[in-house]
């Protein structure tokens, strides 16, 4: 699947750039007002729910105000999102008995999200989600060098990717939040002034819809995703190894010992990577005879999704809760990660720890290291083009 881009007339492109750029004083004042209004409207709600307190997310970081925004739909589904890193903090949905469960692993205050180099919990990841080999790539023969923050590679946008910046937030209504950010030319080594817009919305059928959009004034690379950690039995409920999972992919991209794709697309049939039917996550995860599982210390691999356009990518089911999560995306791949590097180093909301394999990720994406893999779909975005992609996490009962 080719990267989705819409060529716009010059005048419309300039308007889009202007709309995304919140650097002017009027836009800043408007956003500040929206943040304050949202905070006042949501404080009472968050105090009397499973969600964290809005006040614990109101800080000044890098000279900008952070906040917590609460979204809800008419079915009782709620989501809490902070503009620090564009992060999904909580996602509360009913289980098979109608009991509300928070299915996203997160913290109850913004300060805990700022600690540790590896805390991608719930984050909007960019400019480039996943790994770039040795932190190097070329565009039209010109070399670019990124920070090596996952030796020997660059991971998730570098030392300070989109997960560690303060976005401008504008809550449009009860169920929709728009986040915007201007990533300046050569920020973290990436070329071009990139205007990014991420829209979170809760749908009437209990979906969390994430729309991504970006424009640039210089040819660059882009691969945006969301890095939420899920436990469908509820945050703090223990292992995810008994969850059932189906991934609609007949192939995956095997990796080397540093988790960079080899460039091959290998069939999943007859391997521990075959999730074409509902299978317990832990049923084959400890097959130490398989080098790929050794390389990732479990599952930390990109799957090549079947089909094109908007498609059903995956289904996960909590074995205790009966909560079913269906993932739909326009992206060609999905990274399945089983919390192999979670070591209980962080205290989460409710007092639980991020213990080994107590959460999993399904990150929709273009393939890792695509800028260095000619056989993979391009992730280049040029001036005059608009990057657009959508992912939906839809919840129901089994």
Phi, psi of 351 (to 5 degrees): 95, -5
Beta-bridged to residue 387, according to DSSP, are: 5, 214
Percent of the chain with pLDDT over 90: 82
Per-residue confidence (pLDDT) for residue 117, from 0 to 100? 62
Would you list the DSSP string of 21-77? ---SHHHHHHHHHHHHHHHHHHHHHHHTSSSPPGGGG--EETTEE--EEEEE-TTS-
Structure-model confidence comparison of residues 6 and 86, the more confident one: 86
Calculate the alpha carbon distances from 201 to 74, 95, 135, 184, 220 in Å.
13, 21, 34, 27, 28
pLDDT at 16 over 90: no
Pairing of strands 225-227, 123-125: antiparallel
Percent of the chain with pLDDT over 70: 87
User: Is there a contact between 107 and 346 (Cβ–Cβ < 8 Å)?
Assistant: yes
User: Is there a contact between 314 and 362 (Cβ–Cβ < 8 Å)?
Assistant: yes
Of 10-14, 42-46, 151-155, which one has max mean pLDDT?
151-155
Within 10 angstroms of residue 242's Cβ, the number of other Cβ atoms is 15
Per-residue confidence (pLDDT) for residue 49, from 0 to 100? 64
Those residues with Cβ within 8 angstroms of residue 172's Cβ, 6 or more apart along the chain or in another chain: 178
Least confident window among 10-19, 241-250, 252-261, 327-336 = 10-19
- Give exposure, 49-82, as e/b (b: 16+ Cβ within 10 Å): bbbbebebbbbebeebbbbbbbbbbeeebbbbbb
What gap in Å lies between CA 218 and CA 380, rounded to an integer? Answer: 10
Confidence band, pLDDT 50/70/90 cuts, at residue 265: very high
Structure-model confidence comparison of residues 217 and 290, the more confident one: 217
User: Which domains does the chain carry?
Assistant: 5-232+377-390 (2.70.98.10), 244-372 (2.70.98.10)
What gap in Å lies between CA 30 and CA 178, rounded to an integer? Answer: 13
Mean pLDDT, all residues of the chain: 89
Those residues with Cβ within 8 angstroms of residue 116's Cβ, 6 or more apart along the chain or in another chain: 345, 346
Give me the active site residues, please: 227, 363
Per-residue confidence (pLDDT) for residue 115, from 0 to 100? 87
Tokens standing for residue 312: 């059903």
Nearest in space to 32 (alpha carbons), one of 75, 66, 82: 66
Total-model pTM: 0.88
In this predicted model, what pLDDT tens digit does every residue of 114-163 receive, in sequence order? 987 668 999 999 999 999 999 999 999 999 999 999 999 999 999 999 99
Confidence band, pLDDT 50/70/90 cuts, at residue 50: confident
């Amino acid at each position: 699947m080719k990267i989705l881009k819409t060529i716009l007339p010059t005048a419309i492109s300039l308007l889009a750039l202007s709309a995304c750029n919140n650097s002017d004083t009027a836009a800043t004042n408007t956003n500040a007002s929206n943040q304050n209004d949202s905070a006042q409207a949501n404080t009472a709600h968050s105090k009397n729910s499973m969600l964290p307190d809005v006040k614990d997310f109101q800080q000044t970081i890098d000279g900008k105000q952070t906040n917590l925004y609460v979204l809800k739909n008419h079915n009782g589904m709620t989501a809490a999102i902070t503009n620090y890193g564009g992060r999904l903090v909580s996602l509360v949905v009913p289980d098979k008995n109608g009991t509300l469960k928070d299915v996203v692993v997160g913290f109850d205050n913004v300060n805990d999200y700022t600690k540790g180099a590896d805390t991608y919990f719930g984050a909007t990841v960019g400019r480039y989600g996943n790994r770039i080999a040795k932190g190097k790539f070329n565009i039209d023969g010109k070399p670019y060098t990124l920070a090596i923050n996952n030796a020997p590679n660059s991971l998730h946008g570098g030392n300070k990717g989109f997960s560690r910046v303060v976005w401008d937030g504008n809550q449009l209504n009860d169920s929709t939040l728009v986040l915007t950010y201007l990533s300046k030319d050569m920020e973290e080594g990436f070329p071009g002034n990139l205007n990014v817009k991420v829209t979170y919305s809760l749908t009437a059928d209990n979906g969390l819809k994430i729309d991504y959009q970006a424009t640039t004034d210089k040819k660059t690379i882009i691969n945006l995703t969301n890095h939420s950690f899920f436990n469908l039995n509820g945050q703090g409920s223990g292992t995810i190894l008994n969850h059932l999972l189906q991934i609609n992919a007949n192939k995956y991209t095997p990796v080397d010992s540093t988790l960079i794709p080899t460039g091959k697309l290998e069939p999943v049939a007859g391997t521990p990577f075959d999730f074409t039917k509902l299978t317990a996550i832990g049923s084959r995860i400890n097959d130490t005879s398989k080098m790929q599982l050794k390389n990732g210390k479990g599952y930390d691999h990109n799957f090549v999704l079947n089909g094109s356009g908007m498609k059903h990518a995956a289904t996960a089911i909590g074995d205790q809760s009966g909560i079913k999560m269906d993932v739909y995306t326009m992206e060609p791949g999905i990274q399945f990660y089983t919390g192999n590097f979670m070591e209980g180093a962080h205290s989460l909301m409710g007092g639980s720890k991020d213990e080994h394999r107590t959460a999993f990720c399904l990150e929709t994406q273009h393939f890792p290291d695509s800028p260095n893999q000619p056989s993979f779909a391009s992730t280049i975005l040029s001036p005059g083009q608009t990057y657009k992609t959508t992912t939906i996490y839809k919840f129901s009962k089994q």
